[in-house]
Structure 1
Amino acid sequence: MLSQLSIRNIVLIESLDLAFGPGLGVLTGETGAGKSILLDALGLILGNRADSALVRAGENQASVTASFEFATLPGALQGALAEAEVVIEPGEPLLIRRSLKADGGSRAFINDQPVGVALLREIAPALVELHGQHDDRGLVNPRGHRELLDRYAAADVAGLAEAWQGWRVAGERLAAARASIEDAKAEQDLLLAYLAELTALEPVEGEEESLAGARADMQKGEKLAGDLEDLRHLWEGSDSALAGLRGAARRLDRIAGEHPLLAEALEALDRAVIEAGEAEEKLAAAADALLFDPAELDRIETRLFELRAQARKHHCQVDDLPEKMRTMRAALDSIEHGEAEISDLIAAERAAYEHYRGLAEAVHAQRKDAATRLDKAVAAELAPLKLDTARFRTVVTPLPEERWGAHGLDSVEFLIATNPGADFAPLAKIASGGELSRFILALKVALAEQGGAATVIFDEIDRGVGGAVASAIGERLARLADGGQLLAVTHSPQVAARGGTHYMIAKSSEGTVTRTSVMLLDAAGRQEEIARMLSGAEITAEARAQADRLLEGV
C-alpha cells in the first residue's frame, strides 16, 4: 500500500509530506483547492508524462517521492524489477522518486537506483488503480476483464497456461521434425551420390599425414639414391670394409692369447665390428624407407589429390571425411525412419491438444457460469447507487482457433447499457464520469477484490449525487477498503464520514504567493470539515449536529 507521499514544488504545493494507512482515507476541500495537484503528483510516480508546467513558479526543479509497503512483494512487481536489475531487499519498502526540471526533462529512481520512466508505467498497475472522470485503465480496460472473471470463477488458469505451453512445444517439435525430413528428402539424391563417392574412397582418419610422410620420404630417397648405392658397396661383398674388419677379428682371435695387448686389441676390434654391423642394418633400413618407387609415388600422390578434393567439396579437413560419411548415413537413416518418428510426434501433439482443449472447455464453462453470477451480483449493487435503470452484462465470446492461447478459448468484456432500450456498450462508452465511477464501484464490490493494485483511488465518485446514494457509495467504499487501502477524493459529507482517515486540502494566499496544503484532521477537525461540506460557506450549529450524526452512524 501507499505509506508516504512527499511533494516538493509541484504547482501550488511548496512542501508536503503525507502519511497514509490501510482502510478508507478521504480527501476533501473546496473546489479549486488543489486536489487535482495531488493526483498529478502521484501520476508522475506512475510514469505519466513529465510536464514542466507542473514545476512551481520561480523554482528550478520539482520532485515527488512515494513509498509503498508490502507484506510480500507482488509477483508482477518482482518480475518487472528483476528484469530491470533493480534490487529490493526482503521487507524493504518500494521507494519511487521522480524529479523534473523547469526547462524540461525528468529522472526516475527506485530505491535510489536510476530507472527509465517506462518501468514506472509497467509497474503502475500493481501499485495504484485510479478511477476518475477520464479513467481509461483498470476495470475500464477490456484487456483485464478476462483475468478478473477468472479470479471470480476461481478458474485453473495456471494449469490452462501450462497445457497451452505443452501443446505449443509439441507442435513445434512436430514442425521441426517435418521440416528436417523435408530438407533431408530434398537432398537425398545428392547425399546418396556424395556417400557413394566417399564409400568408394574409404577415407581413414590420420591417412593424410601418413601418406604425406611416405611421399616426402620417397622424394628424399630419389635425391639420395646415388649416395645410398655407394654406401651399400662399402658394406657389401668380400672386399668390403666390414668384411675386412671381420677377417681381421678372426685372425687376431687366434693369437690374442699370446699377449695382453693383443687381447685388448681383439676387444676393440669386436666392438668396431658390432658398431659397423649396426650401421649396416640402419643403412639397409634407411634404404628401404627411402626406396624410390615411381609407381608407388604416383599412387600416393593420386590418393592425396582425391582425399583433398573431397575435403574441399565438403568444406572440411581430410581427417573429417569419415565423420562426414557418418553424418550422411545418419541423415539418410532419418529419412528412412523419419515417418515412424513423425507418427509418434503427431500422436504426442494430438494428446497435448486434447489435454489443452479439455481444460480450456472446462474454464469456458466456469467463465459462463461465473458471468451469470457476476451479472446478478453487479445488478444488485446498481439500484442503491442510483443506477437502477442501467444493466450490466459479462460477454464471454469464443475465439477462432488461431487466436487461442494460454488464456484459453474466449475473450471476455464487461458491457453496460445505461438506459432502458439502449444497446450494450463497453464501460468506457459511459457518458458521465460519475456514472462510470459508480459502475466501477459496483463492479469492484461484486468482484470483492482490489483489481491487483496495492492502492485504489476514486476521484469524485459521488459527483452529481447526494443523500441516500452518497450514503450507499460511502458504505460500499468502506466495505471495499476493508483489508486493503482505498483513497477517495470526495465532495460528499456522507462519503467523508465513512473515512478511517480524513485529509483536508486547502489553498491559502499571502500577497502574490498561493499555496496548497493538506492537513490530517483529528476528530474535531473532521466534524468541522463535514459541517462545512453540509452547510457551505457559513458553518451552522445545525450543520455541526448533522455532522455528528453522520460520524456516529458509521
Structure 2
Amino acid sequence: MLTALSIANIVLIERLDLDFEAGLGVLTGETGAGKSILLDALGLVLGARADTGLVRQGADRAQVVASFAPPAADTPLAALLADNDIAMEAGEPLLIRRTVKADGGSRAFLNDQPCSAALLREIGPHLVEIHGQHDDRGLLAPAGHRALLDAYARADTRAVAEAHAAWRAAEEQLAAARAALDAAERDREWLEHCVAELQALNPQPDEEAELAEARAAMQKGERIAGDLAAIMTAFEGSDSGPALLRGAARRLDRLAGDHPLLAEALASLDRAIIDADDAETKLVEAARAMEYDPERLEATEARLFELRALARKHGCQPDELPALADNLAQRLDSIMGGGAGIARLESAVRDTAAAYTHAAIALSDQRKKAAARLDAAVAGELAPLKLDAARFQTLVEPLPAERWGAEGMDRVEFLIATNPGAPFAPLAKIASGGELSRFILALKVALAEEGGADTIIFDEIDRGVGGAVASAIGERLARLASAGKQLLAVTHSPQVAAKGGAHFLIAKSSEGVVTRTSVRALDAAARREEIARMLSGAEVTAEARAQADRLMEAV
C-alpha cells in the first residue's frame, strides 16, 4: 500500500508531500490542473522512462520518493526483493527514490540501495496497478488471467506443478537411458572384444610390480651364474682352499705345544676355516636364491609384455586393467539387460503422465466452474455501469499437449462482446476507453481480494458518464476499497468524489510567469465546497452545496 509520496521539481510541481491511507481516495481538480503530473511522478518510481522533459524549468534535477507499507514475508514481492539483495528491516517501509537530471540521466534507489529501472518495472506491478484510458497492462494482459482465475477459484495448483515436475523428470531419465543404451549398442562389438581379451588375460591387482620384481631377480641370477660357479670350485674337492686349510690345521695341532706362536697360528687357522665355511654357506644360499629357470624367465617377460601392451591399448596403467575389465563388463551387461531398464522407465513415464493428466483435468474442471461463477458475478456488475448490452466470458480452453505445463493444460483469457450478437474478443481490442475502465472495475469488484497489487489507481474511470452510472461507479470503488485494497481515483464526477474516504484537490496557480501545481488534502468543509463546484461549475450555488451535502451523507 502506498503510504506517502514526495515530489520535487516535476513539471509544474515545485514541492509536494502527500500522505495516503487505506480505502478510497479521490483526486479532483479543474481540467488542466495537473492531475496527470501526479501519475507521471508515480510512474517514475515504478520504472517508467526517465524523460528530462519532466524536470521543472530552471531546476537541475527532479526527484520522486514513494513509501510503501512493508511487504508480508510470504509474498512474491518479498521474494523478489530478497533475490535482488534488497534489505528490508522488520516493520520498516519500502522506499523507492528516483532522480532525473535536467541534462540527462537518472538514478534509482530501493531502501537507499542503488538499483536499475528494470528492477523497478519488475516490482511495480506488485505495488501499484494503474488503469487509465489507454491502459494495456494488469487485467488486460492475458498472461495473468489464468492466475487470477485460479485465485478466484481458490485452486491449489501445487499438485499439478508437482505432478508435472515428476513427469518431466521421468521423461528426462528415460531419454538419458535411451541415449546411453544407443551409445552402448554402437560400441557393443568393441566391448565384446575388449571384455573377452581382458578376461582371457585376467590381470590381477599389483601383478605388474610382482612380475617386474621377479624378472629383475632372475636377470641378475643369469648375469652372475658363471662367476658363482667359478667361485664355488675353490670350495670343492680335496685340493680346495678349505680342505687344504683343514689339513694344515691338523698337522699344526700336533706342533702347537712346542711353541706359543704355533698355538696362536693354530687359533688363527681355526678362525679362517670357520670363516671359509661361513662364506661357502652364504655362497650356496645366494646361488639358490638367484637361481633362475630360462623358461620361467621367458614366461614372466611374456606376461609382463602382454599386460603393458594391453594397458597401452586402453590408455591406462597396467594396475588399472582389473578395474577396467570390471567396468567394461558392466557396460556390456547393461546392454544385455538394457531393455528391461528401459521398460521400467517407460512404465514410470506412463504412470507420472497419468498422474499429471488426472491432476490437470481436476484443475481444469475447477477452473471451468469458477469461470461460470466469475462470468455471473461480472454480469451482475455490468448493467449498473451502463454496460447492460455487453457480455463477459472467461474462456477456458485446452492447450495442445506439447504446451501442457506446470500450470495445467488450459489457456485462460477474459473476453467481452460490447454489442448484442457481436463475437467475443479480447478486452483491449473491443472496449473503448471509458468502457474499458468500467469493465476493469467490474472485474476488480467481482474478483474482490483475489490477486493484484494492494494499491489500484483508476484514471478518469467515469469519463463520459454521469448520474446513476457515476454513482454506481463510486459505490463499486468504495466496495472494492473496503475489501482490503487501497484505491485512488482521478475523477471529474461529484458522485464518485463523494464516495471517497480521503479527498485531494489538485490546483494550478500562476505568479507572473511562474506556474505551479499544488495538491492538498481537504477537510469535510472543503470537500463539500469542491463537490459543490463539481456539481455547479464556475459559480458555486447554495443548491449545489445542498446537493453536495446529500451526496456526502449518502456514503
TM > 0.5 between the two? Answer: yes
Say which SS state the counterpart of residue 107 (structure 1) adopts.
strand
Pairing 1:487-498 to 2, within 5 Å after superposition: 487-498=488-499
> What SS is found at the alignment partner of 1:123?
helix
Listed as ranges, the matches of 1:170-181 within 5 Å are: 170-181=170-181
> Structure 1 CA distance, aligned partners of 2:262 and 2:334?
83
Give the drift of 1:337: 2.1
Q: Evaluate the alpha carbon distance shift between residue 300 and residue 86 of structure 1 in structure 2; reply closer, same or farther with a 3 A threshold.
A: farther
* Other-structure match for 2:517: 516
Seen in structure 2, the aligned counterparts of structure 1 residues 545 and 231 have a Cα distance that, compared at 3 Å, is farther
Alpha-carbon distance between aligned partners in 1 of 2:342 and 2:450, rounded to the nearest angstrom: 49
What letter is aligned with 1:490? Answer: T
Rounded Cα–Cα distance in structure 2 between residues aligned with 1:265 and 1:11? 131
Letter in 2 for 1:125: P
Structure 1: state its 5+ residue gaps: none
The Cα shift of 1:155 comes to 2.1
Q: Does 1:537 align with 2:538?
A: yes
CA contact (8 A) 1:76 1:123 kept: no
Counterparts in 2 of 1:62 and 1:311: CA distance versus 1, 3 Å: farther
Aligned position for 2:53: 53
Q: CA separation in 2, counterparts of 1:254 and 1:119? A: 120
Contact 2:95 2:110 in 1 (8 A): yes
The corresponding residue for 2:103 is: 103
Q: Which amino acid aligns with 1:517?
A: S
- 1:76 counterpart residue number: 76
Return the alpha-carbon distance in structure 1 between the equivalents of residues 249 and 453 of structure 2.
112
1:267-303 deviation per Cα after TM superposition (whole angstroms, max 9, x unaligned): 9999999999888777777667767877666655554
Structure 1 counterpart of 2:122? 122
Deviation at 1:150, TM superposition (A): 1.5
Counting only pairs closer than 5 Å after superposition, residues 327-406 of structure 1 correspond to structure 2 as 327-406=327-406
Shift in alpha-carbon separation, 1:332–1:543, aligned structure 2, 3 A: same
Q: Is the 8 A contact 2:8 2:15 kept in 1?
A: yes
* Maintained 8 Å contact 1:71/1:91: no
Give the aligned CA root-mean-square deviation in angstroms.
3.6
Per the alignment, do residues 199 and 498 of structure 1 end up closer, same or farther by CA in structure 2, a change over 3 Å counting?
same
> For the pair shown, which has the larger CA radius of gyration, 1 or 2?
2
Q: Aligned partners of 1:313, 1:286: CA distance in 2, in Å?
A: 39
Q: Deviations over 1:236-284 (max 9, x none)?
A: 888888889999999999999xxxx999999999999999988877777
**Amino acid aligned to 2:491:** T
Alpha-carbon displacement from aligned partner over 1:171-225 (angstroms, at most 9, x marks no partner): 2122222222222112111111111222222223333344444555566667777
- The one-letter code of the counterpart of 1:395 is L
Separation in 2, partners of 1:278, 1:540: 144
Whole-Å Cα distance in 2 between the matches of residues 253 and 356 of structure 1?
112
C-alpha distance in structure 2 between counterparts of 1:134 and 1:22, whole Å: 26
Mean CA deviation greater in 288-297 or 394-403: 288-297
Secondary structure class of the residue paired with 1:438? helix
Q: What is the TM-score of this pair, normalised by structure 2?
A: 0.88
Letter in 2 for 1:553: A
Partner Cα separation in structure 2 for residue 545 and residue 255 of structure 1: 165
| 1:80–1:119 contact (8 Å) kept in structure 2 | no
Task: Give unpaired runs (5+ residues) of structure 2.
Answer: none
Whether the aligned pair in 1 keeps the contact of 2:152 and 2:450 (CA below 8 Å) is no
Identity of aligned residues (%): 67
Q: Provide, for residues 399-448 of structure 1, a one-character-per-residue CA deviation record: whole Å limited to 9, x for no partner.
A: 11111111111101111111222221101013421110000000111122
Counterparts of 1:143-182 in structure 2, within 5 Å, are 143-182=143-182
- How much does 1:459 deviate? 0.9
Q: 2:33 is paired with a residue of what secondary structure?
A: coil
Q: Please give the TM-score of this superposition, normalised by the length of structure 1.
A: 0.89
CA distance in 1, matches of 2:113, 2:269: 94
Note if contact 1:415-1:427 (Cα within 8 Å) is conserved in structure 2: yes
1:134 aligns with 2:141: no
Provide closer, same or farther for how the CA distance between residues 54 and 224 of structure 1 changes in structure 2, counting only shifts above 3 A: farther
Question: Which residue is equivalent to 1:3?
Answer: 3
Say which is worse superposed, 48-57 or 497-506, in terms of deviation: 48-57
